[in-house]
Amino acid sequence: MRLTKFGHACVRVEKDGRRLVVDPGGLTDPQALEGADAVLVTHEHFDHFSEEALRRAAQSNPALRIWTNTSVAGRLDGLGTRVTAVGEGSAFTAAGFDVKVHGTWHAPIHPDIPRIGNIGFLVDDALFHPGDALTVPDTTVDTLLLPVHGPWSTTGQLIDYVRAVAPRQSYAIHDGALNETGTTVIAGLLGPNGPGTGAPHHHLPPGESVDIG
């Protein structure tokens, strides 16, 4: 698989000429959806879901399919069977990729802020995008897309999360609010200068790609 990082939490995965995009939100370069065959959306927050961008992409490509949770699916009315609501335990094929769903809830931010639904996607039993949650799949993960910065986690929690998932490697996502200093500090703690996660950690600049799996 070819993994390309786009703005913040969005990635594109390519294999055999097929393109699968995860979480094209309001901080995402619109080019992420160009040529997409299928889209996965973890939850409704603006940095992961852009209704305008998805409707525009669906209009441009009548074959585009979208899989997401019930909340996001409800906001994409009018697209009919092109949108499929899925949840914990669901398994399906999207643009030729085998996808399994893990997780139910967004990580808690504060007791006074109601939690929303959030699902994570395991692609081809290799690449896991957890959305805004620290969900530990009950299976082996080769590459973990690690949300490195948000109002709902600490770097210490991320270290323990990587240890719990035990991937072969991790790549940073959810870093759109970090400046260069913050990116360096967090990457250092998750990498060899930190207490150790058991997995190499990588930062992939927006627009750059890497082969995984």
Question: What confidence score (pLDDT) does residue 96 get?
Answer: 97
In the chain, what's the furthest Cα-to-Cα distance? 50
Q: Which residues pair with 209 in a beta bridge?
A: 4
Question: What confidence score (pLDDT) does residue 92 get?
Answer: 98
Question: What confidence score (pLDDT) does residue 30 get?
Answer: 86
Question: What confidence score (pLDDT) does residue 7 get?
Answer: 86
pLDDT tens sequence across 43-83:
999 999 999 999 999 999 999 999 999 999 999 999 999 99
Best CATH choice for the domain 2-211 from the list 3.40.50.300, 1.10.510.10, 3.30.420.10, 3.60.15.10: 3.60.15.10
What is residue 117's DSSP assignment?
B
Question: What confidence score (pLDDT) does residue 60 get?
Answer: 95
Residue ranges in the chain whose pLDDT is less than 50: none
Question: What confidence score (pLDDT) does residue 213 get?
Answer: 77
Q: Are 73 and 83 in contact (CB under 8 A)?
A: yes
Q: 4-24: buried (b, 16+ CB within 10 Å) or exposed (e) per residue? A: bbbbbbbbbbbeeeebbbbbb
